[in-house]
Chain A
Amino acid sequence: MTEISSHLNRFGGVYLLPVAIAALAFALIGVPSTWVTLTVAGLAMGMMIFLMASGLSLIFGLMDVLNFGHSAFVSFGAFIAASTLAALAGWVAGDSAILNIAALLLAVAAATAFGAAAGWFFERVIVKPVYKDHLRQILITIGALIVAEQLLLAIWGGAPVAVPRPKVLEGSLIIGDVAIEIYRIFAFLLGLAVYVAMHFALNRTRIGLLIRAGVENREMVEALGFRIDRLFIGVFMAGSALAAMGGAMWAGYQGLITPALGGELMILVFIVVIIGGLGSIEGSLLGAILVGLLANYVAFLFPKLSLASNMLLMMIILLWRPFGLKPAIKG
């Protein structure tokens, strides 16, 4: 038994889980082309959820703050991206690939910038007065969520908003009998790029070192003379910006967004963070990929179970590892 587990660990340990699920799904689905389409969809969805979850997880790991208002950044990001794309309709619909991509990048950038600014405001005004008081933190971020959702309704109204998708990213890539939506590839690549950037920033830079040290032991970092509150605000802004970026990508992916989207995604994000373990980027990525893959496979195989499947996954993983698969902090 120990021999098997040591072998498993050498080949990646818990990182093998998505592979195992993909293999199991392959056996159940039986049609390779369908399986590839579903897997790509799952990976793309996972990457977008990863964008939203990583910020939440990092904020929690460093600051011990669980922001229930995180989904507000996601929704605002989605709607700002939609408005930007609508404003740049000429670029989006044009034939020039460069302008197409520029419009999308601009939309994502606008959402991200807004996320960072809103994160700054949120940290200063909402969260700062209630550090180290979990009960009031939960209450106050819920209050902020209510206000943000109502503002969203007041500004954009309750009706679904159509999101124009850039022309280059429309349609699918066809390899053999496998059709892959181009947007999904784009979403996956963007997510991967963000992950690599975060991994690099956390592991190879001085600020990353400080953040990791802060996650592990905040008092010690403070005692060594570093201004941890500045670090806090930076991480909070980055986390919120990532959430808004994820929301913007999600808006383009869905094509039609409603103000309820933040709340719906939030459940997935929470499940991802719980599965992955609070405070770790790797855990968030793993959890997000698992949830994305499972959601797509189950939606195909047993359509009625789709959300319950993620819940089930969470229950099983919690029973196996009460603190998640890759927790950065214990307890």
Chain B
Amino acid sequence: MSDQSITSPSAIPDTRRRVPAGRLIVYAVALAIALCLAFAPFLFPDVRAQEVAARICVFIVLVASYDLLIGYTGIVSFAHTMFFGLGAYGTAMMLKAWGPGFDAIMIGGGLGVAAALVLAVLIGLLSLRVKAIFFAMVTLAAASVMMVLANQLSDFTGGEDGFTYQVPRLFSPAFKLVTDADGKVLRLFDVPLNGKIAAYYFVFLGCLVLFLAMMRIVASPMGTVLQAVRENELRAEAIGYRVVSYRTAIFCISAVIAALAGVLRAVWLKYVGPEVVLSFAIMIDILLMVVIGGMGTLVGALIGVVLMSLAQFYLKDVMEIAAEATAGVPLLPDLLNPDRWLLWLGLLFILLVYFFPAGIAGTLMKKGHHR
């Protein structure tokens, strides 16, 4: 995804200067991840890996849009999953009501995004004037109310169980995307070109477009103003930028992008429920991913998401082994239980915030950077 970022003017202010080694490493890793995702269906053909790849794509957008807030502008919001959920629920409810079709995705997704925008404007105008901490509390309260609403209005949302629905036929595995002479599904590198591939590339391209749009926003004059707001609010105000307007604007943009990511997630998953799109656990995931990857670097989102996703799958296996090895010791097996993987990630998170507040990408990028 970030292959564009290397040539984008903002990433490297002056190409004649020597590019720091750390920055090169970060971009190389990001490029590798982007390429892996671009060819994921062919590189990792099994079903589980495809699920992971699609989840990574959507989460990169989600995390990057959150980074616009926390990293670029210094706003801490806990309502990001709320916007994500609005996009997803909007699409899903319309697909269920109207049946599978692109019109349902467009209208439902549009309504979800619009709802996210309206809520973002309301919350922003109501509480972005006050302290960061106040805003964090208000968004947390708003998000939890949305969660309760989704759980209680079970006639519309399916309650805690969520609901499943059909997506357009183009995205179903039975659909023949490309057929050979016999009318069978054509296979490329032994991978059938069916609707699943179409769905994956719908998600991938959607995410790519959104990510590039964010790169553009960050590189624009507005992005610079946002960083000024983060660094010194009073000074930005004194120079003549209306801080509240800029904050509200970026909060809305980020909410819309999160809602669009929710639309993509809903189309891929064919299921919505509070656990997968709305829960506080997802918010924690996003926070961990942003901080691990590096706040204030969009590329960091790629690294953070991939590391966290891999950790979610493989850390559990490692802990399983460790728990068995320490079976005789009191309490230790409980702490090493695979269900407790968040404990160790939480500790890692605290240490990261202490010692490497810039995250992996941020820390690496500073290496070899002459000030």
**A, B co-complexed:** yes
Binding site for B on A (CB under 8 A): 60, 66, 68, 126, 129-130, 134-136, 138-140, 142-144, 146-147, 150-151, 153-155, 263, 267, 270-271, 273-274, 278, 304, 307-308, 311, 314-315, 318-319, 322-323, 331
B354 contact set on A, CB distance < 8 A: 129-130, 140
Cross-chain contact B334 with A154 (CB below 8 angstroms): yes
Cross-chain contact A267 with B140 (CB below 8 angstroms): yes
Cross-chain contact B74 with A135 (CB below 8 angstroms): yes
Cross-chain contact B346 with A150 (CB below 8 angstroms): yes
B347 contact set on A, CB distance < 8 A: 143, 147
A-B contact pairs, 18 of them (CB 8 A): A68-B136, A135-B70, A135-B76, A135-B132, A138-B133, A139-B353, A143-B346, A144-B346, A146-B349, A147-B347, A147-B350, A154-B343, A263-B280, A267-B140, A267-B144, A270-B141, A304-B153, A311-B142
A interface SS class: helix
Cross-chain contact B134 with A146 (CB below 8 angstroms): no
A154 contact set on B, CB distance < 8 A: 331, 334-335, 337, 340, 343
Tell me if B131 counts as interface (CB < 8 A to partner A): yes
**Given A140-B353, A154-B337, A319-B126: A146 touches B138 (CB 8 Å cut-off):** no
Could you tell me the distance between the alpha carbons of A150 and B337 in the complex, rounded to whole angstroms?
11
Cross-chain contact B76 with A138 (CB below 8 angstroms): yes
Could you tell me the distance between the alpha carbons of A327 and B342 in the complex, rounded to whole angstroms?
37
A136 contact set on B, CB distance < 8 A: 353, 357
Could you tell me the distance between the alpha carbons of A274 and B342 in the complex, rounded to whole angstroms?
30
Name the contact of A274 in the complex, choosing from B134, B335, B345, B349 (C-beta under 8 A): B134
Minimum CB–CB distance from A42 to chain B (whole Å) comes to 19
Tell me if B152 counts as interface (CB < 8 A to partner A): yes
B interface SS class: helix
B134 contact set on A, CB distance < 8 A: 274, 278
- Closest-by-CB residue of A relative to B74 is A135
Name the contact of B343 in the complex, choosing from A151, A307, A308 (C-beta under 8 A): A151
- Closest-by-CB residue of B relative to A303 is B152
Could you tell me the distance between the alpha carbons of A141 and B349 in the complex, rounded to whole angstroms?
10
Could you tell me the distance between the alpha carbons of A138 and B350 in the complex, rounded to whole angstroms?
11
- Closest-by-CB residue of B relative to A271 is B141
B363 contact set on A, CB distance < 8 A: none
Cross-chain contact B346 with A66 (CB below 8 angstroms): no
A331 contact set on B, CB distance < 8 A: 130-131
Binding site for A on B (CB under 8 A): 70, 74, 76, 126-127, 129-134, 136-138, 140-142, 144-145, 148-149, 152-153, 280, 284, 287, 291, 331, 334-335, 337, 339-340, 342-343, 345-347, 349-350, 353-354, 357
Could you tell me the distance between the alpha carbons of A66 and B131 in the complex, rounded to whole angstroms?
11
B353 contact set on A, CB distance < 8 A: 130, 136, 139-140, 143
A68 contact set on B, CB distance < 8 A: 136
Query: 6 shortest A-B CB distances, which residue pairs?
Result: A146-B346, A150-B343, A147-B346, A143-B350, A143-B349, A311-B145
Most chain B CB neighbours (cut-off 10 Å) among A126, A129, A139, A304: A139
**Given A304-B152, A307-B148, A318-B126: A66 touches B133 (CB 8 Å cut-off):** yes
Could you tell me the distance between the alpha carbons of A314 and B131 in the complex, rounded to whole angstroms?
16
Cross-chain contact A323 with B137 (CB below 8 angstroms): no
Minimum CB–CB distance from B160 to chain A (whole Å) comes to 13
- Closest-by-CB residue of A relative to B345 is A146
- Closest-by-CB residue of B relative to A331 is B131
- Closest-by-CB residue of A relative to B284 is A146
Cross-chain contact B130 with A322 (CB below 8 angstroms): yes
